[in-house]
Amino acid sequence: MVRMLLTALVVVSFACQQSKVAPPEPVYPVPSARQLAWHQLEFYAFIHFNMNTFTNMEWGFGDESPGRFDPTELDTRQWVRVVKEAGMKGIILTAKHHDGFCLWPSSYTEHSVKNSPWKDGKGDVLRELSDACEEYGLKFGVYLSPWDRNHPDYGTPEYVTYFRNQLRELLTNYGEVFEVWFDGANGGTGYYGGANEDRRVDKKSYYDWPNTFSIIRELQPNAVIFGDAGLDVRWVGNEHGFAYPTTWSNLLRDSVYAGMPEYSKQYSPGQENGTHWVPAEADVSIRPGWYYHPYEDHKVKSLPHLLDIYYKSIGQNASLLLNFPVDNRGLIHEKDVEQVMKLAAKVKEDFANDLAAGVRVNASNERGTGYKISNVVDGKAETYWATEDGVTAASIDLSFGEPTIVNRFLVQEYVALGQRVKAFTLEGRTDEGWVSIAEGTTIGYKRILRFPDIEVEALRMTIKDAKACPAIANIEIYKAPALIVPPVIVRDRLGMVTIEVPDDNVSIFYSIDGSDPMESGQKYAGPFEQHSPTVIQAIAKDEQSGKVSDVSTGDFDISKIKWSVVGNDDDAEKLIDGSDNTWWSSESNEVVIDLGEVIRITGFTYMPMQQRWISGFISEYQLFTSGDGIDWRLSSEGEFSNILNSPILQTINLNSATDTKFIKLRAIKTVDDRPASFAEISVLTR
């Protein structure tokens, strides 16, 4: 009896072995274990906080006194709480930026926190942050600028030794480090210990990167190394936070080096035939600058902008490294917190209910046991569907069993076996049969397609082409609620008013008489003319859910349809074009506008330029009026207080209403003594 049982067992186990299917062969390159762990983080924070925070600069020269580093309320636990609550998995801090100032008391330089007034020189920002990360379960990473505009030896082999010594300090004394971040900016003018000169280095060879990298492997074997060219993670090639519709994790790594001028254009999306696995990381700041500047307090990125970044990075096979310019108190600014929390809430809402969870799923080809199509909806990253060897085109049908509205499709390759898919399509089965929804190229670790709401009974993803048999680990399907944000109202120079919202499925209601746009507003159907002074109010409404945005307000005085700028510079028209995003600067520090007819004005407004790199904000002005453009009368003079820190709309009311056909705005002083710049000038008549 026992023998019979044993025989039976042997037969069964033999049969099982027979039916076991071999996994697909990897398609090289493939990720290392440390890269695979990094892929799963997806979203983490950058903190730019250092000497520049106190000098109001983006790139310090290197001659700044350590005495200037003096945060009043530094609280790394606040940073960590915000980052964690926003759903991010780690923090990378600028331990040393290009100006060379160190946030930790390095033994190799005096240019550090130890000579600052902060905590009487006893403080260590890195220690505080790594402790806080550990307390809250976040990963901790370091940015160490290779370029050092303070160090006297920069450009010589001695500096490379110094740089490596610092790296050793960072990687030895602060616990586990998940990413080491090296910037591509290298060499140029600087203080260099008092030499005040221009020092260039050979970006390819100066740092002897292979030997520098081996220090990281020795001290922090799990840390990934970031640089334009890797080693492990590459720069996405822009600072907008966008990866590309076609983004390979494969890179021709031996063809690129950090700081290479043609990198962004030629190499940053990766290459199908790339030789090494070097996935992309998209870095972007929540404000225009990387460092804190009070004058950017009104320029924190909006929810629609941040959401777009999210989908264009994480949704396009890159990780997202979102920067917070910690302010001179030592805190993430309230406005930044507010915006990132809006993003976190919207991401949560978009991915709340996975409609793929209950679908019936079929594939046109299956490799066999262990690689079944049901693996793509089992919620497990380690199981995947694959086709038979040689089958590089196949389709997957996902049936809901009832009409279902969808607008997001999320798909992930089983990247441990390499990135394979080269082209795919998405179709939906509607009342009219199969209709095309979207087309894509690469997938990689994660690809998210966004498309307008569509009611379907089934979805079909067809892989059209792949480097080898596809291996798909995961599919998720969502119906993200519409993005309901207050509409943006603009009026151009000709008096045409446009009201816009980011989501096509959302209706806009507006009023032009000060009444509640929700109660008595009309539905916006396209641009309309508005020449007389008006307050336009608008709301966005999702007709499906009834959800309504806050009200947005556009306060417009008379239109500029009859206006012209006197002089022969066509570009000067930008200061009356209705857009705050265009600007013009005047060598003569003044501008004359012909209003086209005599108007009784009660005041005027001046909008300073809104670009990232600012110049020529007017701080002291004179306003002249004239009936003929020849005889001028001084109608107002004064200052635009605090304009440098707060470059928002400046509104000046005249002492008495004045009839005039011409106005002349003259800059008596600009904040930086550069020619006066103007984004927009308007008059007030009410």
List of residues contacting ligand FUL (CB under 6 A): 58-59, 183-185, 283, 290
Q: Strands, DSSP E only, in 88-187?
A: 90-96, 139-144, 179-181
Q: How near is the Cβ of 616 to ligand FUL at its closest, in Å?
A: 23
Q: Among residues 640, 615, 639, 628, which one has the least CA distance to residue 664?
A: 628
Which is closer to ligand FUL, CB of 284 or CB of 411? 284
Q: How near is the Cβ of 239 to ligand FUL at its closest, in Å?
A: 7
Give the integer Cα–Cα distance in Å for 593 and 599. 13
Which is closer to ligand FUL, CB of 146 or CB of 608? 146
Give the integer Cα–Cα distance in Å for 233 and 226. 5
Instruction: Kindly report the number of other CB atoms within 10 A of residue 238's CB atom.
Output: 14
Which is closer to ligand FUL, CB of 46 or CB of 662? 46
Give the integer Cα–Cα distance in Å for 505 and 543. 8
Cis ω before 29 (30° cut-off from 0): yes
Give the integer Cα–Cα distance in Å for 131 and 137. 10
Q: How near is the Cβ of 59 to ligand FUL at its closest, in Å?
A: 6
Which is closer to ligand FUL, CB of 267 or CB of 621? 267
In this structure, which amino acid lies at residue 188?
A: G
- 520 three-class SS: helix
Do residues 346 and 483 make contact, with C-beta atoms less than 8 angstroms apart? yes
Q: How near is the Cβ of 129 to ligand FUL at its closest, in Å?
A: 17
Q: Among residues 184, 101, 103, 186, which one has the least CA distance to residue 142?
A: 103
Q: How near is the Cβ of 288 to ligand FUL at its closest, in Å?
A: 12
- 434 three-class SS: strand
Q: How near is the Cβ of 63 to ligand FUL at its closest, in Å?
A: 17
* Minimal CB distance residue for ligand FUL: 185
Residue 86 CB burial class (10 angstroms; 0-12, 13-18, ≥19) = buried
Do residues 251 and 230 make contact, with C-beta atoms less than 8 angstroms apart? yes
Which is closer to ligand FUL, CB of 42 or CB of 58? 58
Give the integer Cα–Cα distance in Å for 131 and 123. 13
Give the integer Cα–Cα distance in Å for 247 and 414. 16
Q: How near is the Cβ of 14 to ligand FUL at its closest, in Å?
A: 59
Residue bearing tokens 């490379």: 160
Q: Among residues 352, 325, 355, which one has the least CA distance to residue 339?
A: 325
Structure-token pair, residue 373: 């199509």
Which is closer to ligand FUL, CB of 99 or CB of 476? 99
Which is closer to ligand FUL, CB of 58 or CB of 388? 58
Which is closer to ligand FUL, CB of 169 or CB of 183? 183
Which is closer to ligand FUL, CB of 104 or CB of 624? 104
Q: Among residues 29, 186, 36, 167, which one has the least CA distance to residue 102?
A: 167
Q: How near is the Cβ of 48 to ligand FUL at its closest, in Å?
A: 6
- 386 three-class SS: strand
Do residues 352 and 476 make contact, with C-beta atoms less than 8 angstroms apart? no
Instruction: Kindly report the number of other CB atoms within 10 A of residue 173's CB atom.
Output: 12
Give the integer Cα–Cα distance in Å for 582 and 610. 8
Q: DSSP character for 115? A: G
Q: How near is the Cβ of 228 to ligand FUL at its closest, in Å?
A: 9
Q: DSSP character for 58? A: S
Q: Among residues 33, 125, 476, 148, which one has the least CA distance to residue 331?
A: 125
**Within 13 Å of residue 168, how many CA atoms lie on the same side as its CB?**
11
Which is closer to ligand FUL, CB of 184 or CB of 629? 184
Which is closer to ligand FUL, CB of 117 or CB of 184? 184
Q: Among residues 449, 374, 468, which one has the least CA distance to residue 407?
A: 449
Give the integer Cα–Cα distance in Å for 547 and 534. 27
Q: How near is the Cβ of 197 to ligand FUL at its closest, in Å?
A: 20
Q: Among residues 453, 454, 484, which one has the least CA distance to residue 546?
A: 484
Q: How near is the Cβ of 183 to ligand FUL at its closest, in Å?
A: 5
Phi, psi of 268 (to 5 degrees): -60, -30
Give the integer Cα–Cα distance in Å for 226 and 558. 53
Q: How near is the Cβ of 58 to ligand FUL at its closest, in Å?
A: 6
- Burial state string for 316-342 with b = 16 or more CB within 10 A and e = fewer than 16: bbbbbbbbbbbbbebbbbebbbebbeb
Structure-token pair, residue 228: 């334009």
Q: How near is the Cβ of 94 to ligand FUL at its closest, in Å?
A: 7
Residue 265's alpha-carbon distances to 273, 297, 600, in angstroms, are 17, 32, 53
Which is closer to ligand FUL, CB of 59 or CB of 556? 59
Q: How near is the Cβ of 269 to ligand FUL at its closest, in Å?
A: 19
Q: How near is the Cβ of 125 to ligand FUL at its closest, in Å?
A: 16
Give the integer Cα–Cα distance in Å for 620 and 666. 9
Q: How near is the Cβ of 479 to ligand FUL at its closest, in Å?
A: 36
Which is closer to ligand FUL, CB of 287 or CB of 574? 287
Q: How near is the Cβ of 147 to ligand FUL at its closest, in Å?
A: 8
Give the integer Cα–Cα distance in Å for 142 and 569. 49
Beta-carbon contacts of residue 41 (< 8 Å; ≥ 6 apart):
89, 90, 139, 178, 319
